[in-house]
């Protein structure tokens, strides 16, 4: 099915199952331990041996010699695979550095060998016996330094690396009566998902089965095939449950490659899990940014000029962190400039982390807006409202399909008691606490990806959905079941959902907050076909067949849905393809974050007191799982604001705090009260589901709202994240 005109009324609009705050259908399997994660497929891959990865001990240079004899002779060892044993490996489309390094080393803890043994302990002990000598080369590890000579970069392959200009920024900024010119920094961030990267590989002749933890089944399968130099049809790639990804698991990583190579060498299934201290330098991270924002406005608070320039670094042939994306679209203003710079660094690979671009970009832009509002003597909510735009500022003929940012801000302000905020900083206290309130807008662009599904109507009247879509803790199982139930007129108990298997139709996968809208649309398309097949089987006209209450009605005839499958299971498959409505309409998601903090006036300790988000993302498919996405993202935003920072060792080129003791993320005790409100709006231009994603929107802007609240509490403006107490004492 192709979606190329705004959606009219369809069965989803009944909202008998869709839109209900249903419990997760995979909840019982997860909470009873019956849901198998990547490392737990003992039944499908019995007698698996254990692989332990050896990581490079230098960041840049060459392996001059490697001795694996002692490791091979160690107790229980079945095989040791290095780059020389593995022979020529390809490089996947989505990988910047090779997943098995040597002799050249691209970054610290790049995999250089896997040791396979009967037990995990034997593999780990033998890995310690692999002796490596290196010829160290000089690496580039200092972002500030590298940015001095870094060229302009482009955020996508379709656009040339040049600044994006509208009007004449320089002239308008020079002429503006009120201005801001400020620099902001965000550090490298780690996804720090709960479940580390892990894979089990089992060969059957020349066919390979891989159970892994990955957000994008088809990307992973394709890149594994490229890496191993084999046809992708011979790989079955499975990831039915994922313990968090946040973008870190969008791509094939070395655990899957090492498991496959180790299993081949050992002649047995092999399981490989990355240890936490290994994965934080071996896998990807959100790159640090250096951002400069200039805003010029008239005294009435109307922005006349806005510029946002951001620099980041990555390995050779890597990508920039696109931190300026939202600044092209969020506020009005006739004269605009945005640009990206990309420096070459020899640190581990930078790549997507939850809301890549907007998350760190909003951390800067929304503090700049707070600063500008204060300079203008305007309330920061009012300043944002004054600069709302209903069209793409660069292409006024292109309207936002749905944009109620003003409502998000107003409703949030009401609900939060914003009028109680004192605009003068450092005036409000509660015992030893200085109390402050902060606000920020939320913005994240909407994207749809093609997404396929197969649906079966069994003789028992059960509808089974099969798609390679993943559920990374987000609730995909449940919203897909709700979609199929609504379409087929069944209670959700009569729908079975099977995900995360490359033997199912290719879906959007999970990422970029495109998963919910795209994957349910694919299920919608397949269900339209199934309804036709049912009607045809029963001799009904599919135009007037009504699916409801487990029955199909047409005129005065009515049949149990199960009856339609009596003569044999009905199986259909379809993929939702997307036309170019996203060129006619600018499709984005919006919100407003409100935060109250307390800052200990003696120690400087910062505590969150309450948080509120108002979000607009089209139809909310399941308010319970959507709320979970929002509060999880808000919690991550608190981490970004106050705690998270990968500390770079600029001498040796690695992240020093490579575990969860050194890399701090918030815990429940850090987050006392969170509230989430969704605007009841639908967006018919995005899909038949009329729903956009909220998984990343919830993160965008939170960090700035926290930083703005800390400023309101203390009167000290910190522009370098994380906002730790030493910076405002």
Task: Please say whether the beta carbons of 633 and 697 come within 8 A.
Answer: yes
Q: Give the closest residue to 600 by CA, choosing from 450, 435, 722, 400.
A: 435
| CB nearer to ligand MOS: pick between 150 and 216 | 216
Query: Nearest approach, Cβ of 215 to ligand MOS (angstroms)?
Result: 6
Task: Please say whether the beta carbons of 342 and 321 come within 8 A.
Answer: no
Query: Nearest approach, Cβ of 191 to ligand MOS (angstroms)?
Result: 8
| CB nearer to ligand MOS: pick between 357 and 380 | 357
Task: Please say whether the beta carbons of 711 and 425 come within 8 A.
Answer: yes
CA distance 6 to 370: 37
Task: Tell me how crowded residue 718 is: count the other CB atoms within 10 A of its CB.
Answer: 18
Note the residue count of the chain: 729
Query: Nearest approach, Cβ of 359 to ligand MOS (angstroms)?
Result: 9
CA distance 98 to 309: 31
Q: Which residues, other chains included, contact 291 with Cβ-Cβ below 8 Å and sequence gap of 6+? A: 183, 184, 185, 186, 308, 309, 310, 311, 323, 360, 361, 364
| CB nearer to ligand MOS: pick between 511 and 522 | 511
| CB nearer to ligand MOS: pick between 245 and 591 | 245
Which residues are catalytically annotated? 696
Query: Nearest approach, Cβ of 356 to ligand MOS (angstroms)?
Result: 5
Query: Nearest approach, Cβ of 694 to ligand MOS (angstroms)?
Result: 13
The separation between CA 115 and the C-alpha centre of its own chain, rounded to angstroms, equals: 32
- Angle in degrees, CA 7, 8, 14, rounded to 5: 105
Helix (H, G, I), strand (E, B) or coil at 34: coil
| CB nearer to ligand MOS: pick between 190 and 714 | 190
| CB nearer to ligand MOS: pick between 247 and 632 | 247
Instruction: Provide φ and ψ at 625, rounded to 5°.
Output: -70, -30
The b-or-e profile of 390-404 (16+ CB within 10 A means b, else e) is eebbeeeeebbbbbb
Closest residue to ligand MOS, Cβ-based? Answer: 247
Query: Nearest approach, Cβ of 213 to ligand MOS (angstroms)?
Result: 13
Give residues in contact with ligand MOS (CB under 6 A): 215, 245-247, 250, 352-354, 356, 511-512
Cα–Cα distance list, 288 to 113, 235, 276, 314 (Å): 29, 36, 21, 10
CA distance 538 to 560: 10
Helix (H, G, I), strand (E, B) or coil at 530: helix
Query: Nearest approach, Cβ of 538 to ligand MOS (angstroms)?
Result: 42
The separation between CA 527 and the C-alpha centre of its own chain, rounded to angstroms, equals: 28
CA distance 540 to 538: 5
| CB nearer to ligand MOS: pick between 574 and 644 | 644
């Amino acid at each position: 099915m192709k979606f190329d005109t705004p959606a009219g009324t369809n069965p989803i609009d009944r909202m008998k199952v869709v839109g209900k705050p249903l419990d997760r259908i995979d909840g019982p399997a997860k909470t009873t331990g019956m849901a198998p994660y990547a490392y737990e497929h003992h039944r499908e891959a019995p007698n698996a041996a254990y692989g332990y990865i050896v990581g490079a001990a230098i960041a840049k240079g060459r392996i001059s010699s490697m001795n694996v004899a002692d490791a091979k002779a160690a107790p229980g060892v079945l095989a040791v695979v290095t780059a020389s044993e593995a022979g020529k490996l390809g490089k996947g489309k989505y990988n910047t550095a090779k997943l098995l390094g040597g002799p050249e080393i691209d970054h610290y803890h790049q995999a250089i060998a896997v040791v396979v043994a009967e037990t995990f302990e034997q593999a780990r002990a033998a890995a310690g016996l692999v002796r490596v000598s290196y010829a160290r080369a000089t690496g580039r590890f200092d972002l500030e330094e590298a940015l001095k000579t870094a060229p302009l970069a482009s955020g996508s392959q379709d656009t040339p690396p040049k600044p994006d200009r509208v009007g004449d920024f320089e002239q308008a900024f020079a002429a503006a009566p009120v201005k801001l010119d400020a620099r902001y920094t965000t550090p490298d961030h780690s996804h720090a998902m709960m479940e580390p990267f892990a894979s089990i590989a089992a060969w059957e002749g020349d066919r390979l089965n891989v159970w892994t933890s990955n957000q994008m089944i088809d990307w992973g399968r394709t890149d594994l095939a490229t890496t191993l130099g084999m046809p992708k049809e011979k790989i079955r790639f499975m990831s039915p449950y994922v313990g968090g990804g946040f973008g870190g698991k969008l791509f094939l990583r070395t655990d899957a490659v090492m498991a496959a190579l180790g299993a081949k060498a050992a002649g047995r299934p092999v399981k490989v899990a990355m240890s936490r201290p290994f994965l934080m330098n071996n896998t990807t991270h959100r790159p640090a940014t250096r951002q400069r924002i200039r805003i010029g406005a008239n005294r009435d608070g109307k922005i006349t000029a806005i510029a946002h320039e951001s620099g980041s670094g990555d390995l050779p042939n890597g990508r920039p962190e696109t931190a300026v994306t939202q600044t092209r679209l969020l506020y009005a203003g006739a004269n605009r400039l945005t640009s990206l710079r990309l420096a070459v660094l020899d640190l581990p690979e930078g790549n997507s982390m939850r809301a890549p671009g907007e998350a760190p970009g909003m951390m800067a832009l929304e503090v700049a807006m707070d600063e500008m509002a204060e300079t203008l003597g305007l309330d920061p909510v009012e300043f944002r409202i004054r600069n709302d735009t209903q069209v793409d500022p660069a292409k006024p003929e292109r309207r936002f399909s749905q944009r109620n940012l003003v409502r998000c801000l107003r409703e949030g302000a009401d609900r939060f008691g914003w009028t109680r905020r004192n605009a003068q900083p450092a005036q409000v206290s509660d015992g030893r606490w200085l109390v402050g309130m902060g606000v920020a807008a939320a913005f994240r662009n909407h994207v749809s990806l093609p997404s396929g599904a197969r649906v079966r109507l069994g003789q028992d009247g059960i509808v089974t959905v099969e798609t390679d879509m993943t559920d990374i803790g987000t609730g995909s199982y449940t919203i897909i079941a709700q979609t199929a139930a609504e379409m087929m007129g069944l209670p959700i108990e009569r729908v079975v959902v099977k995900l995360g298997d490359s033997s199912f139709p290719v879906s959007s996968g999970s990422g970029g907050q495109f998963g919910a809208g795209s994957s349910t649309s694919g299920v919608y398309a397949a269900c339209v076909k199934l309804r036709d097949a049912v009607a045809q089987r029963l001799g009904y006209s599919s135009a007037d067949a009504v699916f409801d209450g487990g029955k199909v009605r047409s005129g005065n005839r009515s049949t149990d849905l199960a009856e339609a499958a009596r003569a044999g299971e009905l199986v259909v498959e379809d993929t939702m393809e997307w036309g170019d409505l996203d060129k006619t309409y600018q499709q984005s998601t919006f919100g407003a974050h409100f935060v109250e903090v307390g800052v200990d006036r003696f120690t400087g300790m910062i505590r969150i007191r309450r948080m509120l988000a108002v979000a607009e993302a089209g139809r909310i498919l399941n308010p319970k799982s959507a709320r979970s996405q929002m509060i999880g993202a808000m919690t991550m935003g608190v981490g970004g604001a106050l705690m998270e920072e990968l500390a770079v060792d600029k001498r040796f080129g690695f992240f020093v705090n490579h575990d969860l003791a050194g890399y701090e993320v918030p815990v429940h005790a850090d987050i006392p009260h969170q509230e989430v409100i969704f605007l009841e709006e639908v967006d018919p231009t995005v899909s038949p589901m009329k729903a956009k994603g909220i998984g990343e929107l919830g993160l965008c802007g939170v960090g700035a709202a926290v930083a703005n609240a800390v400023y309101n509490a203390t009167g000290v403006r910190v522009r370098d994240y994380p906002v730790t107490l030493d910076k405002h004492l």
